[in-house]
C-alpha cells in the first residue's frame, strides 16, 4: 500500500507538499525526502509526532535515540520505525518538527491510502506548491537562516 500525505505550514500559507511513501518504508525515508525536497540540512535534529485530531503530540519518532537507556521500549527511532507501525487509515495526523529549538513544524495528514503503481518509484513528492518555511540552523550557539529560492 501507498500512504499519501499532505503537508502544510502555519508560517507560509501557500506552502503545500503531497508526499507518497510505501507503508513499509520508514519514518527516516519520509524525513529524507522532506529534507531533500525542502532543502533542509539533514544534520539538524528533527522528529515526527503522532498526533490526535487537535494536533496534540502523542508519540514521538526521533531522528536518533538520545536516551541513556538504549533498550527502552518507548523510544521510536526513524530508521527503525515503519510507517505502518503507527499509520493505517486516512485522516491520521502527524507533526514534523524540523526546527527543534524553536518548535517550528509542518502539519502532516495521511490523506489517502492507495495501491502501489508498479512503474512508480517511492518515496516521491507528487505535489509541490510554494516555498517552504525557512530552516534556522543551530551551529556553535548561533542561528543561521537558510533561505533557498525555488
User: Residue 50 sits in a domain of what CATH number?
Assistant: 3.10.290.30
Residue 62 has a pLDDT of: 95
* Beta-strand relationship, 47-51 and 57-62: antiparallel
Question: Does the pTM of the predicted model rise above 0.85?
Answer: yes
What pLDDT, on a 0 to 100 scale, did the predictor assign at position 146?
47
CA distances from 83 to 29, 98, 105, 132 (A): 9, 18, 19, 23
Residue 113 has a pLDDT of 97
Domain that holds residue 135: 2-146
Q: Could you list the mean pLDDT of each consecutive 10-residue stretch along the chain, which spans 150 residues?
A: 98 97 98 96 92 97 75 81 97 95 94 95 97 77 48
d(CA 90, CA 105): 21
pLDDT at position 26 is 98
pLDDT at residue 21 in the model:
98
Q: How many domains is the chain partitioned into structurally? A: 1
**What pLDDT does 149 receive?**
45
Rounded to a whole number, what is the largest CA-CA distance in the chain?
47
Amino acid at each position: 500500500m501507498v500512504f499519501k500525505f499532505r503537508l502544510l505550514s502555519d508560517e507560509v500559507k501557500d506552502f503545500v507538499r503531497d508526499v507518497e511513501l510505501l507503508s513499509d518504508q520508514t519514518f527516516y525515508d519520509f524525513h529524507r525526502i522532506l529534507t531533500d525536497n525542502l532543502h533542509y540540512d539533514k544534520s539538524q535534529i528533527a522528529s515526527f509526532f503522532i498526533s490526535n485530531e487537535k494536533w496534540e503530540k502523542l508519540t514521538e519518532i526521533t531522528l536518533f535515540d538520545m536516551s541513556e537507556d538504549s533498550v527502552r521500549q518507548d523510544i521510536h527511532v526513524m530508521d527503525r520505525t515503519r510507517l505502518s507501525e503507527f499509520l493505517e487509515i486516512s485522516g491520521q495526523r502527524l507533526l514534523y518538527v524540523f526546527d527543534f529549538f524553536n518548535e517550528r513544524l509542518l502539519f502532516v495528514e495521511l490523506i489517502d491510502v492507495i495501491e502501489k503503481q508498479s512503474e512508480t518509484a517511492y518515496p516521491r513528492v507528487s505535489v509541490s506548491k510554494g516555498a517552504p518555511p525557512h530552516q534556522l540552523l543551530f551551529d556553535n550557539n548561533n542561528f543561521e537562516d537558510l533561505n533557498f529560492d525555488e
